[in-house]
Amino acid sequence: MMLTRGKVLAVNISQNKGEKKSNIGCGLFLENLGLENDVHAQAGIRQVSLLSKESIDKIREKGLDVNHGDFAENLTIEGIDLTKLPIGTKLKVGSEVLLEVSQIGKVCHNRCNIFYTVGDCVMPKEGIFAKVLVGGTIKVDDHVEVAG
């Protein structure tokens, strides 16, 4: 049985592509764009990136000192196996935001700064991307629910 409820651990933002993101604690997610002021906020299928704490823990177990946002994910969550969510799954985050899973993993054509800084990257295999269907504020400790 897959867990269908989780929690936001970090809301992460960066100004440049291919770099670690910093936890801002709370962010405004704009409909059909993504996280306000984040470099990746744009129309398309990769508006918001999500990675689970459990995926980050796998890298920590390899002896690497990694934190939330180090893999350039906008949302770090725990409690839901993101890799098992099919495209089209809707996620209700906090009281307002509705996301729709639009891509599982990604192709990394070049090893980015994250790979060289951290020594490995879990995002291509275990990160997911979503579109913002309904915008609003997401903050640390908000609940994440699989809505369908």
Residues 94, 8 contacting (CB under 8 angstroms)? yes
**How far, rounded to the nearest angstrom, does the alpha carbon of residue 41 sit from its chain's CA centroid?**
13
106 or 9: which leads in pLDDT: 9
Mean pLDDT of 19-42: 94
Angular region, 118: left φ>0, alpha ψ -120 to 50, beta rest: alpha
Share of the chain above pLDDT 70, in %: 84
To 5 degrees, how large is the angle CA 50–CA 53–CA 58? 115
Backbone dihedral angles phi then psi of residue 82, each to the nearest 5 degrees: -60, -30
Q: How far apart are CA 81 and CA 28, in angstroms?
A: 24
If pLDDT is split at 50, 70 and 90, which confidence band does 41 have?
Answer: very high
Residue type, 74: N
Q: How far apart are CA 120 and CA 59, in angstroms?
A: 7
Domains and CATH numbers, the chain: 5-146 (2.40.33.20)
**Mind listing the pLDDT tens digit for each residue in 63-97?**
778 889 988 899 999 999 898 899 999 999 999 99
Residue 1: what pLDDT?
44
